[in-house]
Amino acid sequence: MIAHRTFELIAPSGYPHDPEAIRRALHRLHAQGHHVEGVHATERRFQRFAGTDGERAAELNHLADPSRKLPDIVLAVRGGYGAVRILHGLDYEGLQRRLTDQPIALVGHSDFTAIQLALLSRAGLKTFGGPMLLGDFGAEELSEFTMQHFWNALTKPTFTVTGSVPQAQAVDVSGMLWGGNLAVLASLVGTPYMPPVEGGILFVEDVNEQPFRIERTLYQLHLAGILERQQALVIGDLSGGKAFEYDNGYDLNAMIEHVRSVIGIPVITGLQFGHIPNLLTLPVGADAHLVSDAHGFKLTVSGYPYLS
């Protein structure tokens, strides 16, 4: 039985392009007895963005207001592009004061990675990589897998996810779980918004990128010294890239094997995270323990804000 929760919608990136999906998502949340605030975030448009930079930053900064009651779940409407444009306008000190150790879940993925990593770096705030309003809650067919893992992650102090893909490397490591969209993450290298994580477990995903583009982005993290400081790299979904005859056998598997040979840390594959219908929810900034062998992997996480 899912408790009735208060959702607050935010749209820090692109505007939602499918009104019918928004209608489905809101109907489903209301039908479950949840209260939804911030619906106006689904209606704003400025160029390709869900409002001006100032409007989108103010939406997040509103969470720092000590006079208002906090929602249970802050849910990103969609990804796209635009979050990086508002990072300099966020009230990190105010958000840190108001949200630290509070039972509140900020959830999203894709372009929302920029917000998540900035909040972790500048305010020490832990958030959740997970479903969004438009593509997940508003999907034509709601994924039971996605919803089950969403509520499990948000309402329990610890949980474990497993993968059945056989692993080439045996791993038993612990560290901070962090990551998100690979392209967005790499774009923050050298900025104040990249968390200086040492000994972490880094998870990444991307969509509609060819293997060589993914490799180039991983090389950026490698050459910047970020990967060598982690305990392991966990690869999520990398689907959508076109195969070309010119690739001549160079596919995702070949790319991953090459990356594994040069970065100096274990590479784990098969994480159900990314632009996929059946999506895990993963806390960014949580404590994690990762074990892998020839039969798959097990990832146990704890130490994140959860809803009682």
pLDDT tens-digit series, residues 262-281: 999 999 999 999 999 999 99
Tell me how far apart the alpha carbons of residues 262 and 51 are, in angstroms, rounded to a whole number. Answer: 42
Tell me how far apart the alpha carbons of residues 129 and 138 are, in angstroms, rounded to a whole number. Answer: 17
Amino acid 243: pLDDT: 84
Q: Is 174 a catalytic residue?
A: no
9-25: average pLDDT: 97
- The CATH number for 6-156, chosen from 3.40.50.300, 3.40.50.10740, 3.40.50.10440, 3.40.50.2000, is 3.40.50.10740
Class of domain 159-302: alpha beta
Tell me how far apart the alpha carbons of residues 118 and 47 are, in angstroms, rounded to a whole number. Answer: 24
Among 108, 10, 16, smallest CA distance to 62 is for 10
From the list 109, 149, 222, 275, the catalytic residue is 275
Element spanning 31, H or E: helix 19-31
Q: Is 93 a catalytic residue?
A: no
- Asked whether this chain's domains 6-156 and 159-302 adopt the same fold, the reply is no
Phi, psi of 110 (to 5 degrees): 65, -125
Phi, psi of 267 (to 5 degrees): -120, 120
Going by DSSP bridges, is the β-strand pair 201-205/232-235 parallel, antiparallel, or unpaired? parallel
Amino acid 2: pLDDT: 78
With 0.85 as the threshold, say if the pTM is over it.
yes
From the list 13, 59, 110, 292, the catalytic residue is 110
**Region for 51 from its dihedrals, namely left if φ exceeds 0, alpha if ψ lies in -120 to 50, beta otherwise:** left
Q: Is the pLDDT of residue 60 over 80?
A: yes
From the list 8, 205, 209, 215, the catalytic residue is 205
User: Which sequence spans correspond to the domains of the chain?
Assistant: 6-156, 159-302
Question: pLDDT tens for residues 213-256?
Answer: 999 999 999 999 999 999 999 999 999 998 889 999 999 999 99
Q: Is 205 a catalytic residue?
A: yes
